[in-house]
Structure 1
Amino acid sequence: MVEIAAERGRQASSRVSEEGAGWACQEIGTYAGLRPDRNGFSWLNLRTLWRSRNEILAGLFGDPSGEVRRRWVAAQRARGADGDFRITPELGGSFSFLLLGDTGEGDASQYAVVPGMLNVAADTDFAVIASDVIYPAGSGNEYGDKFFRPYQHYDAPIYAIPGNHDWYDGLGGFMRVFCDAAPLKPKPDRGLRGLLWRKPETIDESALAGARALRGKETQQATQPGPYWVIESPSLLVVGVDTGIKGAIDAEQTAWLRRVSLDPRPKVLVTGKPIYTRNDYKPSALEGGGTIDDIVRDPAHRYVAAIGGDVHNYQRYPVKVGDRVIQYVVSGGSGAFMHATHTIRRVDVGGVHEDDFRCYPLRGDSLSFYSQLYAKRLRMKWIYLTPDEASCIMSEQIRNTPVRPLGQVTVTRRMRWAARLLGSWPWPFRLPVGQVFHRYLSEFSDWDTPPFFKQFLHLSVTPDRLTIRCFAATGCRKQEEEPPLEDEVSIALS
């Protein structure tokens, strides 16, 4: 079934037409009827900022995620969890699964992913959420409308690895929902960090039980052994690591990762922090020395791909490592607000050539999206760039051929000034479009109508091959029924 969806999706993607990008949306999708209410959180709300303070405290006083993680792991082992945190579903040599990243805002952009996801999910055996299951602060009391309700009709288990937002309550909500774990006993943390650090919320167990009933079918049940795990199959291991708040992992998880990686089967890494992103290399430190990527690159470990969330778009870097190629993927666009791609410079990191790099949304669509946002919010009509105009500007900046066919466009001084202000190339005077902006003003960029430029992955496994497909979710009815295929890569496993 997914092969049919992929064939249709290739002809309907943003790489083919503006309609494929969702710019010519003739009918709003059915997602609008799935969302239970219009209430969301605002980063400008002082209560929200205060609840999210642990990220700043971890940067100032050190990240306690490693110590707290060790306590969670010890508690799980005391309850009888598998010593190597293995998940062993009944999988044959051939199977498939979904991967969603940074899902849990609970708004229109999260629910817009659901109909298309369900349309290509019929053959999948499970799903994985990579990073930030719940925004803004990982509360166990927010899983109803941000996890159980949107995925209530996905009839297979869902596993997850936590992101930095899931750690803002000490991982209490995540561990309760995915591991069925009881709260940890409080442990004093002396000093200013301990005084200011946000503690886990008390979970309303009655409300959680009601939310769980939304995914109450036997086929949907799964309890994972811990915040990191390995899903086993005869053909492939899916290795999920927990990178905490700041991206590092503790010594105990490091030893586990090294041990699991010695298994002779091919592997895919799923991580809360991508290793390559925005033409930059961020390999994630290991306590005691080295990096996660050192483990991924070791040919004895047979990693063929590393997929990370946290950044809210799609990127793929095919990096040559010795005599093989490892696919490094960013997949964090399954619900949260969109991070710009037009600010990514001409790609050369890790020896990857720009022509081999893939991203979604396309840089031109990203630039046009932000130009429309600012034109509307700031009443600056002159800054608006059509998708064709933005694509021409980005082609001029990146020095490549436009990805999709364009109409007749003459680049003007106004267009170049608009692109400068929107960050299409380094310039000191520009409107904020980066992650700092989103941390505090994300609702300024909240966009509740198509196109959303969301995405999810479908991964097909056979004994000889792994195929990774990136499907788009625009919010348009037509593309719910036939999700555009924005990227596809096939990897030999033998």
Structure 2
Amino acid sequence: MNPAQKYSTPVLKKNVPDDSGKFLPLPKATGLFPFHLDVQDIRKLGSQNKLVFHMLGDTGGLRSADFQREVVSEMVRQYQQPDEHGKPQFLYHLGDIVYNHGEWEEYERQFFKPFQHYPAPIFAIPGNHDADVNPDNPAVYSSLDAFRAVFCDSSPRTVTFSGNAERKSMVQPNLYWSLITPVARIIGLYGNVTKFGKIEAEQRRWLVAELQAANLERKEKAVVLCVHHAPYSADINHGSSLEMIRFLEGVFAETGIVPDVVFSGHVHNYQRFAKDYPGGKTVPYIVAGGGGYDELHPVASLTDNRFSADNPLLDGVRLVNYCDRRHGFLKISIEKEAGGITLKGAFYTIPEDENTGRGASVKLADEFVINL
């Protein structure tokens, strides 16, 4: 379809059923408040002034694993053959690692085997599918039991349901937490099980405190916010999340602080939005949920009457670029220099059309620069 016939703004899906009853209580944190993890405790960085990492979401799936395998292979290649920005130091996963219900028995097939050759640490926030519970599973388990065993352990160890994988458990302190680095504070939220996300008061108070603390370091560090559920989207499967928009904008209004960039998954494609805030600050809202799940979500057509852009909460937000036909991943570089901090992002896609053929090199589909 001609891009001119598609929305260039976020959309809302009409007649969406209320699934707020699916909300599940959060398990207790495994680490100590304020739920910080210093990246230097996991991997010693060569430079205190530069950070390079991969980012993607929605990699798992119960059907074909071909796309996930190719995405991971290309990230491994970038690690082995770094460009001028340098070698990625870790992967930050935006959630939905295991479909459909976060079950223990799916982690070997959907996570440990596909990522077995990825040579760097993997951090993550949970997606709604990671947190869901399968009522038909004969083994009784609670929400996020498996995720916590893989990512929120008290010390690194072999995960019992990993198929004896070499990758050990990660030691993230909580489901919502901050990764502390020399050039950025990466704040990760947990949006629960519902389709459009829901965050309760305790986590909100924590986010307020994190933004206030991050703001004190603003001259030294970028403020990066991650949440699985995309606040803004123009896709036909989810559309935008009013729940997430109201939550985030409420916190931003209370603190007077907005992050430098917001990353999400949930929607199975790539979209880059720009939102203008009072005072002249423009914040990119980036969806990177095309990490491997075999079904991609197209951007909605202007003639599709199931969607609307008529809501004041969508005002001032524009869709700058998107890719809804290819899977891919982000490579992020954050560098501190004398003149300030620069965040650069590049979205790479794996070739999937019949004219190009599988196995060809990745394509640079979008890039952006944020000068802080």
Question: Which amino acid letter does the alignment assign opposite residue 124 of structure 1?
Answer: P
Q: Does 1:277 align with 2:237?
A: no
- Contact kept in structure 1, 2:154 and 2:171, CA below 8 Å: no
Cα distance, 1:161–1:63 mapped onto 2, change above 3 Å:
same
Instruction: Name the TM-score, length of structure 2 as normaliser.
Output: 0.74
User: Structure 1 residue runs of 4+, over 6 Å off?
Assistant: 476-479
Cα distance, 1:244–1:149 mapped onto 2, change above 3 Å:
same
1:236 equivalent among 184, 194, 214 = 184
Of structures 1 and 2, the larger Rg is shown by 1
Q: Sequence identity of aligned pairs in percent?
A: 27
Instruction: Give 2:361's aligned residue.
Output: 482
d(CA) in 2 for partners of 1:344, 1:140: 39
Q: CA RMSD in A?
A: 2.9
Instruction: Give 1:129's aligned residue.
Output: 93
Instruction: Give 1:326's aligned residue.
Output: 283
Higher strand share: 2
Instruction: Give 1:179's aligned residue.
Output: 152
Q: Does 1:315 align with 2:271?
A: yes
- Contact kept in structure 2, 1:131 and 1:272, CA below 8 Å: yes
- Contact kept in structure 2, 1:338 and 1:454, CA below 8 Å: no
The one-character-per-residue Cα deviations of 1:303-351 (angstroms, maximum 9, x if unpaired) are 1111111110001111111211100111110011333324243997433
Pairwise CA distance, 1:237: 1.1
Q: Does 1:459 align with 2:332?
A: yes
Structure-to-structure mapping, 1:69-218, within 5 angstroms: 69=26, 71-73=27-29, 76=30, 81-90=31-40, 91=45, 92-105=48-61, 107-122=65-80, 123-169=87-133, 170-180=143-153, 206-208=160-162, 210-213=163-166, 215=167
- Contact kept in structure 2, 1:268 and 1:305, CA below 8 Å: yes
The one-character-per-residue Cα deviations of 1:219-238 (angstroms, maximum 9, x if unpaired) are xx631111111111232111
- Contact kept in structure 2, 1:115 and 1:480, CA below 8 Å: no
Pairwise CA distance, 1:206: 4.3
The one-character-per-residue Cα deviations of 1:365-419 (angstroms, maximum 9, x if unpaired) are x5xxxxxxxxxxxxxxxxxxxxxxxxxxxxxxxxxxxxxxxxxxxxxxxxxxxxx
Q: What secondary structure does 1:222 align onto?
A: coil
Q: What secondary structure does 2:171 align onto?
A: coil
Pairwise CA distance, 1:137: 1.1
Unaligned runs of 5+ in 2: 4-16, 81-86, 134-142
Unaligned runs of 5+ in 1: 1-14, 16-55, 183-203, 367-452
Q: What secondary structure does 2:132 align onto?
A: helix
Cα distance, 1:303–1:324 mapped onto 2, change above 3 Å:
same
d(CA) in 1 for partners of 2:119, 2:94: 19
- Contact kept in structure 2, 1:138 and 1:166, CA below 8 Å: yes
Cα distance, 1:293–1:97 mapped onto 2, change above 3 Å:
farther
Pairwise CA distance, 1:459: 0.5
Instruction: Name the TM-score, length of structure 1 as normaliser.
Output: 0.57
Q: What secondary structure does 1:133 align onto?
A: coil
Cα distance, 1:87–1:480 mapped onto 2, change above 3 Å:
farther
d(CA) in 2 for partners of 1:293, 1:157: 32
Pairwise CA distance, 1:141: 1.7
The one-character-per-residue Cα deviations of 1:237-269 (angstroms, maximum 9, x if unpaired) are 111100001201121111111101112233111
d(CA) in 1 for partners of 2:160, 2:176: 27
1:357 equivalent among 305, 314, 320 = 320
Pairwise CA distance, 1:297: 6.7
- Contact kept in structure 2, 1:116 and 1:481, CA below 8 Å: no
d(CA) in 2 for partners of 1:147, 1:232: 25
